[in-house]
Amino acid sequence: MTGPRRLSIPRRVAVKAADAGVPELVDGREVDTVRESWLVEDRWWTDRPLRRRYWEVVTTCGRDEVVFHDLESGRWWRQR
Amino acid sequence: MIVCILLPRFQLTVAATGAGAARDALLQRPVALAPEPGGSQVVGEVSLAAEAFGVHPGMRLGEALARCPRLTLLPGDPAGVSDSWERLLVRLESIGAAVEPERPGLVCFDVRGLLRLHGGIEGVLAAARRALRTPARFGVAPSRFAAVAAASQARTRRPVIVGDQTMPARDGRARIADGRARIADGRARIAEGRARIADGRARARAFLAPLPVALLRARPALADLPEALERLGIRTLGELASLPPTAIADRFGAAGLHAFELANGGDGALRPRGASEVVRESLELPEAASGVQLERGLGLLIDRVLARRERRGRTLRSVVLSAVLVEHGGTWREQVAFREALADPVRMRLALVSRLQLMPAPAEELRLAVERFGPPASDQRALLEDPADARSARLREAIRQTRAAAGSEAALRVLTVDPESRFPERRAMLAPFEG
C-alpha cells in the first residue's frame, strides 16, 4: 500500500437547494422527503474549520441519500 | 588522524527552516530554541544575536528573557533534526567514512583508509565538503577530543589540521628500498609506529595546551569538572596536563584521570555506527488527533511497518515514534527500545501506546521508523499442532499467494480508527491484512 486509504470519503454532487437550504434536486433527481437534518462543526479553533449541514433525503425514485452542504466553501457533497 | 565536522547551531537552523519564515532573517535576530514540553525550563541552542545579549544554551528561560526581552523562542523540531542529520550522515558515508555521530551537528570519523582514496587529508576534507553540501567546520587531529577542539576553532573555509602527517612524495626506487628495509626489520616498524603514536599525542597536547578547560564540557561525563578546575585556578588544558596524575586521581577520581588523558592528547578509539536501513511509515491525520484515534493510527503504522518487504522476517529491536504537532507546534520524537526484539504487533502496540501519552499536543502526522532490527523471528513448531495455529498458517499462506497474484493491495482489512467521530470519513481506514 502506498498510503492509508480512508473509507466514506465525501464525493462531489450536484444539488439544487431552496432558499432555506433544503435540497430540492440531487443529481437531477427530485427530492421527495427530507428524513433528517443535522449540523456538525469542528476544528473551529484552527484556520481550517469544518462546518457542515447534513441532509438525509429520499428521492422520488426511492434512493436514500446523505448529502451535506459545506458552509465554508458553499459546495455540496455526497457521503455514506 | 580523526576528522571532526561541526555544524554550529544545527538544531536551531533546522527548527528555523521548519518555522516557515525566512530562515536567514530569523537567525539574524535574537532567537533560541524553546524548552522541551514537560522538560526543564531552559533554552536550547541560541543564535549569535542572542549570544550578544549574554544568552547561552542551557540558561533558565526566565533569565534569558530578562537578559533579552526581544528573544524569540522557536519550538524544537526533534524529528526534523533527526531526519536532516541522518541525511548528512548518509552523505558522509557515501565517501567511505565510517562515522561516529556524537550529537546532531557533531560527527567524527577516522581518515585511515581514505587518504589514498581521496589524495591526502585535504582531499578527504574536500570530498566531505562536497558530500555535505552545507557549510561546516572541519578539524583534524590525532585524537577525537583534539579534533573536536580543532573544529570549534576552525572557520568554514579554513579547516584546522593539527600535525599533518602527510608523507612526502618519494620516487619508486626509494619506496622499494624502504619496503625491503622494513620487511627486513619488523622491529623497526613497530618502533616507528609507537613513535608516531607518541608524536601524535605530543602534537595534540601542544595544540590543546592553550585552550580553556571549558572544552571538557563537550563530554557529558565531565560536564561538572571545568567549574571545579577553574575554582582551583586551573584554566587551560596545558595546566591540567602538567599536574601529577596521582594528585588529579586523588582529588577528582576517574573523571579527573579521564580529563587528564584528554588534555594529554589521548582519547578512546572511535566506535563507528553500523550501516543503517531506513524503514519508515507515516500517517497524515487531516484532523488533529489524540486519544483513541491516535492509538488506532499507531496500530495501522505498526501493521504497515511489519508488512514492509525490507523487513525480511526480522524482528524489531528499537523504533522511533515521532509526530508533527498541530498549529506549527514543532515535532515530537520518542525512541523506544523493546525489552526483547519483537515482531508481534499486539506486543509492540502495548509498548508504544503508553508513549503516545507523552505527546504534548494533538498531532497532524504520526511516523514510525525502525531504528534497529533484531534477529529473524523464529517460527518453531509445537509438539502437538494447534488447530488454530494451523488455520492461521493456512490463512497467511493464502494471503501471500493472493498478494503475489493480485498485488500488495489484494488483502486489506477495515481498521476502525475513530468509531465515535461525527465525520464518517474519520471512522475507518483500509490497512494491510496481517494473518
CA dist B281 and B320 (Å) reads 11
CA dist B378 and B342 (Å) reads 11
CA distance to partner chain B, nearest, from residue A8 (Å): 5
ipTM of the complex: 0.83
If one counts every other C-beta atom within 10 angstroms of the C-beta of residue A64, the result is 11
pLDDT at position A14 over 90: yes
B166 CB contacts (<8 Å, ≥6 apart)? B120, B121
In this prediction, residue B181 carries a pLDDT of 66
User: A–B: how many Cβ contacts below 8 A?
Assistant: 50
Q: Which grid cell is B29?
A: 535576530
Mean pLDDT, each 10-residue run in order, chain B (435 residues): 89 77 74 81 88 86 89 84 86 88 88 85 89 88 88 84 56 60 67 67 86 84 85 90 88 88 85 79 77 84 88 87 80 86 87 86 87 76 71 84 82 84 85 74
Q: Are strands B137-141 and B160-161 parallel, antiparallel or unpaired?
A: parallel
Q: Report CB contact under 8 Å: B327, A40.
A: no
CA distance to partner chain A, nearest, from residue B429 (Å): 4
Question: Is the backbone of residue B133 left (phi > 0), alpha (psi -120 to 50) or beta?
Answer: left
Buried residues in B46-56 as b, exposed as e (16+ CB within 10 A)? bbebbeeeebe
> Is B428 an interface residue toward A (CB < 8 Å)?
yes
In this prediction, residue B154 carries a pLDDT of 86
Measured in degrees and rounded to the nearest 5, phi and psi for residue A39 equal -110, 135
DSSP assigned state of B415: E
> Is B412 an interface residue toward A (CB < 8 Å)?
yes
Range B373-376, long-range pairs (CB < 8 A, 24+ positions): B373/B277, B373/B311, B373/B314, B373/B315, B373/B316, B373/B317, B373/B341, B374/B314, B374/B315, B374/B316, B374/B317, B374/B340, B374/B341, B374/B342, B375/B314, B375/B315, B375/B341, B376/B312, B376/B313, B376/B314, B376/B315
Question: Which helix (H) or strand (E) covers residue B194, if one does?
Answer: helix B186-208
Q: Which residues of B touch A42 (CB under 8 A)?
A: 287, 422-423
Instruction: Please write the tens of the pLDDT for every residue from A52-75.
Output: 999 999 999 989 999 999 999 999
CA distance to partner chain B, nearest, from residue A73 (Å): 17
CA dist B305 and B150 (Å) reads 42
Name the residue of chain A whose CA is nearest to B424's CA.
A8
In order, the DSSP letters of B390-410 are HHHHHHHHHHHHHHHHH-TTS
> Is A49 an interface residue toward B (CB < 8 Å)?
no
CA dist B431 and B323 (Å) reads 20
CA dist B209 and B162 (Å) reads 13
If one counts every other C-beta atom within 10 angstroms of the C-beta of residue B232, the result is 11
Q: Report CB contact under 8 Å: A80, B430.
A: no
Question: Which helix (H) or strand (E) covers residue B429, if one does?
Answer: strand B428-432
B99 and B89 Cβ atoms separated by less than 8 Å: yes
Q: Report CB contact under 8 Å: B414, A8.
A: no
> Is B432 an interface residue toward A (CB < 8 Å)?
yes
Distances A17 to A20, A35, A72, B390, B406 between C-alpha atoms, Å: 8, 16, 16, 58, 44
B141 and B183 Cβ atoms separated by less than 8 Å: no
Cα B381 from chain centre: 40
Measured in degrees and rounded to the nearest 5, phi and psi for residue B202 equal -65, -40
Distances B44 to A43, B58, B66, B148, B265 between C-alpha atoms, Å: 32, 6, 16, 20, 30
Write the residue in A4, A42, A79 that is nearest to B424 by C-beta.
A79
DSSP assigned state of B236: B
CA dist B193 and B207 (Å) reads 21
Write the residue in A5, A43, A52 that is nearest to B429 by C-beta.
A5
> Is B408 an interface residue toward A (CB < 8 Å)?
yes
If one counts every other C-beta atom within 10 angstroms of the C-beta of residue B427, the result is 19
CA distance to partner chain B, nearest, from residue A20 (Å): 23
Q: Which grid cell is B232?
A: 582551583
CA dist B140 and B211 (Å) reads 16
If one counts every other C-beta atom within 10 angstroms of the C-beta of residue A45, the result is 9
In this prediction, residue A54 carries a pLDDT of 95
B229 and B207 Cβ atoms separated by less than 8 Å: no
Banded pLDDT at A45 (limits 50, 70, 90): confident
In this prediction, residue B368 carries a pLDDT of 92
Instruction: Give pTM, 2 decimals.
Output: 0.60
CA dist B420 and B416 (Å) reads 10
Best B422, B427, B429 residue to mutate vs chain A (most A CBs within 10 Å): B422
Q: Which residues of B touch A52 (CB under 8 A)?
A: 423
SS (H, E, C) B312-366: CCEEEEEEEEEEEECCCCCEEEEEEEEEEEECCHHHHHHHHHHHHCCCCCCEEEE
Write the residue in A5, A40, A43 that is nearest to B287 by C-beta.
A43
- In the sheet where B279-289 sits, what is the strand order? B279-289, B363-376, B314-325, B331-342
